[in-house]
Amino acid sequence: MKREEFVFIVEEQDAGLRVDKFIASRLTEYSRSEIQKFQITKSGAATKLSEKVKLGEKYEVAVLINMPCALCPMPSSKKISLDILFEDDDIIVVNKPRGIAMYPGAGRDSGTLVQSVLAHTNLSSIGADGMRPGVVHRIDKDTSGVVIFAKTDSAHRALVTVFSEHNLVRKYIAFIWGVPNWLSADISGNIGRSTRNRQKMTMVKTGGKPAHTSAEAINVWPRANISELRCTLDTGRTHQIRVHLAAHGFPVLCDPLYGRGGARLGSVKDPELLEFLRENRGQMLHAEVLELTHPITGAPCKFRAKLPGDMSALKEILNEK
């Protein structure tokens, strides 16, 4: 059993939140139901999750995670079939399916991508204590596409520098509500935690972190009021594409957090498209391309992942209209 400990200080924008909501805003990879199982104290003393936090208070959080499940090969019945785009002695690049978490967490000790990669090959020991061996970046559970893992510690350290300094190209495909009146656009704006819903990020006028997304319209379907964009990340903030597009009136289809899909379904007249949008869960967002310099050889690398089946099916439906 692995024990991870965290300490969080209440800042001004957090004051008045319930304890569980405050912790959830800091440990965003966990749900509130998972957080209720954690050991949470306030300055060493027991506290109730329903209490309201105050400015300057210090909360300690202990998270217990089952280490053997995460770092041992998974039973064949639980393995994810890996779509390997590239592999050598230092790195492995895979096409992550939608609906698969990147790595284990509280209440989630099997069925993750990193476990399936470990069942196939070794990964860097860096990050293993925190249940994230070889992980140098992440994409959301319900986003599909290119993910790179480090197999050696030297590759891990080099890749961390590449991602932190943004010395790479990341392109995503997004199906969005709306038809933009532009062919391309640069979207800039700081992104920070929402004060209304701590599970969400939002564009903020002050604070937050700078974020820049370049968007290109590559297909439009005016009758369906849907478009396909290729988005390039110049920064890598949490939920960046989803936040930037939604803030400009073009939320990603089937996005449960930012999509506002329920209010738009009434305008969908085509039965086949309506059925697709109602049945599919998880944002129609795909990490299509990753370009970088190989962390060990220095060779230029470009990895591309084809659209997942659901997004291809959506495109076929739209092309028939």
Give the active site residues. 140
Is-contact 237 191, C-beta < 8 A? Answer: yes
User: Tokens 């992550």 label which residue?
Assistant: 96
Residue 244 tokens, joined: 């930037």
Residue 10 tokens, joined: 């209440």
Query: CA quadruple 197, 203, 205, 210: dihedral positive or negative?
Result: positive
Which runs of E-coded beta strand occur in the chain?
Answer: 2-9, 39-42, 45-46, 58-65, 84-87, 91-96, 144-150, 169-177, 184-188, 191-193, 201-203, 212-221, 226-233, 285-293, 300-304
Closest CA to 216 of 191, 250, 182, 257: 182
Can you tell me whether residue 39 is helix, strand or coil? strand
Residue 165 tokens, joined: 């300094």
